[in-house]
Amino acid sequence: MPISKIKNIVILILLVANIMLLVLLIPLARQRQKQQTQAQEALETLFTQAGVQLNAGQLPDTRPLYTLEFTPDDSGALPAMQALLGEMVLMEHDSTRYIQTYSSAVGSCQLSRGSVLTAKLQNQEPVADLTKDLSGLLVRMGLEPAGVSAPQRVRAGVYRLTAVQQMLEVPVFTAAVTATYENNILTELKGTLYFDTTDLVRTDDVIGCTAADALVAFLGSRDTLGWVGATVNEVEQGYCRADTASAAVVRLVPGWAIYTDTGDFWVNGITRMVSPLVW
């Protein structure tokens, strides 16, 4: 048999196989869509009966996130400090080696083992766009910003804005830094940032809960929280830091931030425990 005919037969077989596969998949896709719609309607009904407004159709897809751990290395922060303070940076440890102080001609920054930093800056250049400047600074420091808030006026000429760090393409809600600008000049940074995550590991195979499960847990904790709101505005998947036996070890637990009309809350995706979200 000529090779051309063999090729045509193979192509025909593959075409028929693909058509049969589509015939099987289309009903399954429709069934999944129907089940998803029914679940959304049931969730909205549950919240409506509780007097809370929720648009379940706008819930984001759930990503498979696991509990993570890593141990930041002191040396991992040096490139970030050089991006913040300039190449000529002096580093000193305190007597306990818990706090490192970085200093240069343009300011100083204290960084604890818990990744909490406080930076005082001077001799900086004024900038036109505060949000863009803070986002660019974090990138130069080797970090991925998940987002930067709009500047909030403190007093005449003084504004503050907050940036949240991102890991594995989702925000880490407990890794956020607040910047202060005076007359469009960066003067201060305060918050928590993780500079060295090279040894990031998954601790187990338990996947965090879905957005729907988080919302049900949140509604069930309404009285305990003392929440008197009436609207869930948005939910967002991400990580928060959990307690560990050693301050040197950072454990990140997956879960959901729930933004409402009267406050923000965190639902632990592993335990379903609900607490106020503290930035």
What average pLDDT does the structure give for the chain? 87
Does pLDDT of 92 surpass 70? yes
Confidence of residue 205 (pLDDT cuts 50, 70, 90): very high
Does pLDDT of 1 surpass 70? no
Using CA atoms, how far apart are residues 59 and 70, in angstroms rounded to an integer? Answer: 30
Does pLDDT of 16 surpass 70? no
Confidence of residue 12 (pLDDT cuts 50, 70, 90): low
DSSP for 116-138, please give it.
EEEEEE-SPPP-S-HHHHHHHHH
Using CA atoms, how far apart are residues 210 and 27, in angstroms rounded to an integer? Answer: 24
Question: Which class for 187: exposed (0-12), middle (13-18), buried (19 or more C-beta within 10 A)?
Answer: middle
Does pLDDT of 58 surpass 60? yes
Q: Which residue has the higher pLDDT, 41 or 165?
A: 165
Q: For the segment 130-152, what is each residue's pLDDT rounded down to a tens digit?
A: 999 999 999 999 999 999 999 99
Of 110-124, 172-186, 208-222, the range with the lowest mean pLDDT is: 110-124
Of 196-205, 251-260, 268-277, the range with the lowest mean pLDDT is: 196-205
Does pLDDT of 51 surpass 90? yes
Does pLDDT of 154 surpass 60? yes
pLDDT at 27: 56
Answer yes or no: pTM beyond 0.85: no
pLDDT at 164: 97
Q: Where are the beta strands (DSSP E) in the chain?
A: 68-70, 90-93, 99-104, 107-112, 116-121, 145-148, 152-155, 158-167, 170-182, 185-192, 201-202, 232-242, 250-260, 263-268, 274-276
pLDDT at 22: 60
Does pLDDT of 53 surpass 90? yes
pLDDT at 29: 47
pLDDT at 246: 75
